[in-house]
Chains A and B, each alone.
Chain A
């Protein structure tokens, strides 16, 4: 009896563990992995990233080089561990040879490290924008057609110093690699122009109480540079405004996007006139951008205007499909031809021309914006200026740029 019971148990475990993988793709389809945050604090962003990627797929009518595109999704919760786990599942179990993703900064660095162990798989970034994903110790098979967080800040530091006349700025940002990169991008220009940053506050993601942070901001600063996302930005701005703070703001790329601008209350008055910079601008009236917005809106659940995540995933997925098209959808050589094609790829996106540098990081246009009230009463990012073809070293010669050191909490510094 005892044996009988255990035997069945053992068999159950055994068969459960060996469920065969029926993931072999037919010859007339191409499988592309899509890794984004479908759970955790960045779920809304991940879903918009997916809309962007699917816009690119729909643009090609779901086929590339005569083969049907099959998207296999993987989900992470914005932690590096979960991103690697999801990437492993897509690559090792579902057998994708091309993977688009991930979304968040530290995830990108982790997936790049994983990419090195899978030389026959081609990885194309989603929207992760930490500098060191491609700048230091890059992976041969990791491509980023979306730009990094420092590039997104191009033009902002100079604009704040020269046009806005801010000489002293305090920064408040979340405590991980992407905001480090954003602060770096802002300060690289701002400090060079002659500005000073006497205080930098780093707060954990999901922080609720900002009172100690607000108390630590020096009284005599001309403005506060805020690189917080989603709920963190709303919480900080509300508490700062309620605490009687009146310094003008400078926004990071995801601080003054639609998720924050659509919030209600007095916050709106604080936000008006806030300069920011990023890979997109709401009032961009270039025909290519307008066409993209229309195509994007056909996706289920779309926002009135595509977020930076929809844009980033769109650009990276589009590049992937164009690359696959050039090689006739053939990745049977371990993706070597595809990677050659991607390295040389240069194409027009809704936000201008994109090409890659030697580290396979994008060179693209960046948009300097300012928050204004639209005709319908909604806040939006008005295009101030386009900074053309920003490269990863922000126009600084590479050896000089590398001497600035890796981005972290203390670098750069100009108190």
Chain B
């Protein structure tokens, strides 16, 4: 998995140029999106895509920069979601300590980061397909544990009646505030990953991905770097988990099942692992397909259509939508690809 990440930033640029016109236009479009979108498109498509984009982003961070493909990102998100349900309040009459959101959220993120680091610590000794297998095993085990444990996870029915906080006079689960909340946190995560990838740590991680033995010989602690990357990915996945539980108002083992784990992988693969924007593109495609395929082909065969579309995307472009763009770009702009782009 040797993926080259574009880092063509020259120090002379001012901040506006460094941000890039594309980013600015995209940001303006996303900020103005609520003016044209219905509540359904704001939350069920917009918010949901951003949440799953963040989950895909946490996988992209691990897979793209660290070469570690994880199927346990939804598990990490689920731990944050369950933490919110347990530490905050729910109406399932199980646990629910009633902590305010500003106390529950940091704890949820902390537990997500710790859980992710633990999963990472277990799986960094493996490579390639074995990492996938071990994270899949962890995801499946957590799912069945949550399904059968009543003291902490409340079994099959999980927790319901979890409310998003309301402060500054805003109910954050209302369509527009929730969309902006998702957008804000997604942008924050995106920027953090983009910045992190160019930082010393990010560069070291990419070097470890490309040649761990040389990095070890140079005196770097390879395991520590990888585990730290897992913890960072855990924070992003945890944020997505918090948003997800506020969005659904509930969390149950179905939320963190193997289907959901594979959805996250599909999102990252469809979107492309070359650049942090990829998972968000993938999430939009996947969420739109999953929502509207049933209107196109009816209730009996809509999952076939979804599968076919994904197959076609991966078949046409193994690098996902980002790779697809890389292919048609020269035709549009009549400019040859520079190496490493």
Contacts and interface: CB of A to CB of B under 8 A. Distances in A.
B40 A7 contact: no
Given A17-B37, A81-B254, A204-B156, A9 B26 contact: yes
B78 to A, nearest CB: 11
Interface string A210-235: 00000000000000000000000000
Contacts of A289: none
Nearest to B251: A81
B299 A38 contact: yes
Interface string A36-49: 10110000000100
A402 interface: no
Interface of B: 20-23, 25-26, 29-30, 33, 36-41, 44-46, 49, 144, 147-148, 150, 155-158, 160-161, 248-250, 252, 254-255, 257, 259, 277, 281, 284, 288, 291, 294, 298-300, 302-303, 325, 329, 332-333, 335
Contact of B29 (A13, A93, A409): A13
A77 B303 CA distance: 12
Interface string A43-77: 00001001000000000000000000000011101
A272 to B, nearest CB: 32
Contacts of B45: 17
A11 B332 CA distance: 15
A85 B292 CA distance: 12
Interface in A63-102: 73-75, 77, 79-82, 84-85, 88-89, 92-93
Contacts of A80: 157-158, 160, 250, 252, 254
A369 interface: no
Contacts of A79: 252, 254-255, 257
A113 B161 contact: yes
A18 B32 CA distance: 11
Contacts of B46: 17
B254 A2 contact: no
Interface residues of A, number: 47
A176 B147 CA distance: 10
A7 B25 contact: yes
Given A9-B26, A176-B157, A21 B38 contact: yes
A5 interface: yes
> 3 nearest interchain CB pairs?
A6-B22, A79-B254, A3-B21
A6 B333 CA distance: 12
A78 to B, nearest CB: 8
B302 A18 contact: no
Given A3-B21, A6-B26, A13-B26, A106 B294 contact: no
B44 A93 contact: yes
- Majority secondary structure of chain A interface residues (helix, strand, loop or mixed): helix
12 contacts: A2-B22, A3-B20, A38-B299, A47-B300, A73-B298, A80-B250, A89-B44, A92-B44, A93-B38, A93-B291, A113-B250, A177-B157
Contacts of B157: 80, 106, 109, 176-177
A19 B37 CA distance: 9
A286 interface: no
Contacts of B150: 409
B22 A7 contact: yes
A106 B40 contact: no
Contacts of A9: 22, 26, 277, 325
B25 A6 contact: yes
A5 B281 contact: no
A47 B302 CA distance: 14
Contacts of A93: 38, 40-41, 44, 291
Given A5-B22, A18-B37, A113 B44 contact: no
Interface string A163-196: 0000000000001110000000000000000000
Contacts of A50: 299
A4 B333 contact: yes
Given A38-B294, A175-B156, 15 more contacts: A6-B21, A6-B22, A9-B277, A11-B29, A13-B26, A18-B36, A21-B40, A39-B303, A73-B294, A75-B302, A79-B254, A80-B157, A88-B44, A175-B155, A204-B144
Contacts of A8: 332
A295 to B, nearest CB: 21
A10 B147 CA distance: 41
A17 B41 contact: yes
B160 A109 contact: yes
